[in-house]
């Protein structure tokens, strides 16, 4: 028995010692790597902080480690929400300069955008953003919902595992790929379509941006709609079918009615996704600071304004402040739509229970 106790003590010592040696080796290797990247001073500070954390961790008991881990993870959970408020505060602080000399109503409702003359009207960019988003949602909502209905109610079981990864693949493509495809395919198509309506368009227009944006929104609406349809109990479908209802009548009178709030949430999430898209829309929408009067006119959405102009002409007074105000407006709108969609989804989940 005594030999077994001594053996356990030696093994425990060696395991702790081995862990300590491993951590020290890791710190040394990390130190040399950091020295090559950032220099000796910053590397020494970082290694000292990491070494102190590791030493502190080694001295903690099991219960203390559990408590520390729980508090640490709770703090990390609060970080995303804190970052949102930090971004809002930072944008407001940078936009404060122009708000001090121009009323917010004048900035939002003026259509004059001449930074060299001190005119920073955001109406053309707000109108362009709303127009492109509206066209995209008109195209995306019916197609996405019908696709979700087919995959949920009509598609063979062998097809469903194949169709969903295809939708995921569409969601994973970089936005610049959609933009290039829009320039090569959609822009010439819109130009020919404008001729049919006896009007001129270069193809770089609200309609082109809406088409590209609609394709990018498809995966968001389809995924959320599929989740909402799956929350409808199979017993309700079976009951409707047993009473003689057709498959479409079951979808129309049972599934869609039961999923109403969830469908609205899917559309709102797609709307917020479309509202903040930048690169693909920037490449096909024309980028002319003018209020569009037709879907064949060029537009200039808020994200494109920020992507094109930030970092340029910063010597113009109040120019950077005007751009920060545009970013603040964009962030507030996207946060509003995301919060609204989340509230609707929570209510729909409670009703399903």
pLDDT range class, residue 32, cuts 50, 70, 90: low
The DSSP H or E segment spanning 311 is none
CA dist., res. 310 & res. 223, Å (int): 34
Question: For residue range 44-80, what is the model confidence (pLDDT) as tens digits?
Answer: 776 677 667 766 666 666 666 677 778 878 877 887 7
Q: Any idea which of 29-38, 176-185, 190-199 has the lowest mean pLDDT?
A: 29-38
Question: Quick one: pLDDT at residue 2?
Answer: 47
DSSP string, 324-340: HHHHHHHHHHHHHHHHH
Of the candidates 120, 105, 112, 125, the residue with the CA atom closest to the CA atom of residue 317: 120
Mean pLDDT, to the nearest integer, of 219-238?
85
Write b or e for each residue in 16-40: b if 16 or more Cβ atoms lie within 10 A of its Cβ, otherwise e: eeeeeeebeeeeeeebeebeeeeee
Higher pLDDT, 116 or 51: 116
Distance CA 319, CA 315 (A): 8
Confidence category of residue 17, pLDDT binned at 50, 70, 90: very low
Q: Quote the percentage of the chain above a pLDDT of 70.
A: 79
pLDDT in tens, 102-114: 888 888 888 888 8
Contact status, residue 128 vs residue 208, Cβ threshold 8 Å: no
- Check: CB of residue 277 under 8 Å from CB of residue 175: yes
Provide the 3-class DSSP secondary structure of residue 45.
helix
For residues 280 and 204, give the distance between their C-alpha atoms in angstroms, rounded to a whole number. 12
pLDDT range class, residue 343, cuts 50, 70, 90: confident
Q: Is the full-model pTM beyond 0.85? A: no
- Check residue 34 and give its pLDDT: 63
DSSP assigned state of 116 = G
Looking at residue 307, its pLDDT comes to 81
Number of CB atoms found within 10 A of residue 226's CB: 19
* Confidence at residue 332, expressed as pLDDT on a 0 to 100 scale: 87
User: Distance between CA 179 and CA 279 in Å, rounded?
Assistant: 7
The C-alpha atoms of residue 215 and residue 150 are separated, in whole angstroms, by 18
Q: What is the pLDDT of residues 260-306, one digit of tens each?
A: 878 888 888 888 888 777 778 888 888 888 888 888 888 888 888 88
- Please determine, for residue 16, whether its predicted confidence score (pLDDT) is greater than 60: no
């Amino acid at each position: 028995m005594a030999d077994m106790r001594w053996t356990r003590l030696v093994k425990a010592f060696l395991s702790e010692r081995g862990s300590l040696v491993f951590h020290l080796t890791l710190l040394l290797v990390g130190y040399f790597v950091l020295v090559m990247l950032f220099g000796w001073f910053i590397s020494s500070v970082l290694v000292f902080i990491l070494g102190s954390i590791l030493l502190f961790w080694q001295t903690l008991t099991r219960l203390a480690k559990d408590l520390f881990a729980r508090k640490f993870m709770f703090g990390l959970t609060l970080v995303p929400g804190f970052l949102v408020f930090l971004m809002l505060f930072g944008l407001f602080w940078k936009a404060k300069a122009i708000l001090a000399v121009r009323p917010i109503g004048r900035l939002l409702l003026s259509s004059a955008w001449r930074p060299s003359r001190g005119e920073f009207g955001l109406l053309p960019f707000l109108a362009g953003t709303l127009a492109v988003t509206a066209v995209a949602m008109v195209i995306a909502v019916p197609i996405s919902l019908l696709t979700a209905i087919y995959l949920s109610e009509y598609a063979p079981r062998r097809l469903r595992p194949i169709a969903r990864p295809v939708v995921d693949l569409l969601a994973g493509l970089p936005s610049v790929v959609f933009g290039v495809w829009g320039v090569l395919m959609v822009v010439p198509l819109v130009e020919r379509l404008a001729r049919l309506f006896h009007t001129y368009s270069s193809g770089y227009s609200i309609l082109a941006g809406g088409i590209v944006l609609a394709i990018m929104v498809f995966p968001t609406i389809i995924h959320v709609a599929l989740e909402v349809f799956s929350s409808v109990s199979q017993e309700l479908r079976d009951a409707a079918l047993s009473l003689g209802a057709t498959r479409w009548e079951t979808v129309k009178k049972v599934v869609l009615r039961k999923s109403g709030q969830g469908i609205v949430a899917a559309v709102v999430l797609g709307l917020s996704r479309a509202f903040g898209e930048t690169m693909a829309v920037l490449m096909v929408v024309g980028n002319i600071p003018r209020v569009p009067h037709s879907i064949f006119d060029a537009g200039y959405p808020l994200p494109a304004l920020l992507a094109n102009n930030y970092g340029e002409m910063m010597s113009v007074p109040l120019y950077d402040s005007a751009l920060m105000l545009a970013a603040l407006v964009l962030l507030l709108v996207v946060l509003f739509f995301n919060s609204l969609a989340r509230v609707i989804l929570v209510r729909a989940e409670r009703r399903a229970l």
